[in-house]
Amino acid sequence: MKIIWTQEALTRLKEIQDYIGQNNPGRAKAFINILVEKTKILSSNPEIGRIVPETAHSDIREIIHKNYRIVYRRGKNHIEILTVFEGHKLFRADELKN
C-alpha cells in the first residue's frame, strides 16, 4: 500500500520540527525522520495501529511514538497520514482540512 501524507500532517511535522529545533536543530530533524520511518510499517501492516478512541471508526487508526500520535486513514489501496500531534491532546476530525 502506498503512504500519502496530507498537507495537514506535513504542516504538523514542520511545527514539531520548528519547536524542537529551537533548542537542537539536529535532534529535531532526527526526530521527524523517526516519525516518518514509523509510518512505513503501515504499507504492509495497515491494521497495526489502534482505532482512534475519539472517533471509533475502524478506518481511522493511530500509531504512537514517544508522546506523539500519528493518525491515519486506511483506504483500499493506500494509507493516508491525516495528522501528527502530541499525545495529551485529543484528535478532532473537524480540524482536518481534508
CATH of the domain at 56: 3.30.2310.20
**Separation of CA 5 from chain center:** 9
In a domain, residue 98? The reply is: no
In a domain, residue 94? The reply is: no
Per-residue pLDDT of the chain (98 residues; tens, 9 = 90+): 899 999 999 999 999 999 999 999 999 999 999 999 999 999 999 999 999 988 878 899 999 999 999 999 999 999 999 999 986 665 666 665 54
In a domain, residue 20? The reply is: yes
Number of domains in the chain: 1
What pLDDT is stored for residue 11 in this prediction? 95
What pLDDT is stored for residue 17 in this prediction? 96
What nine digits make up the cell of 58?
475502524
Residue 5 DSSP code:
E
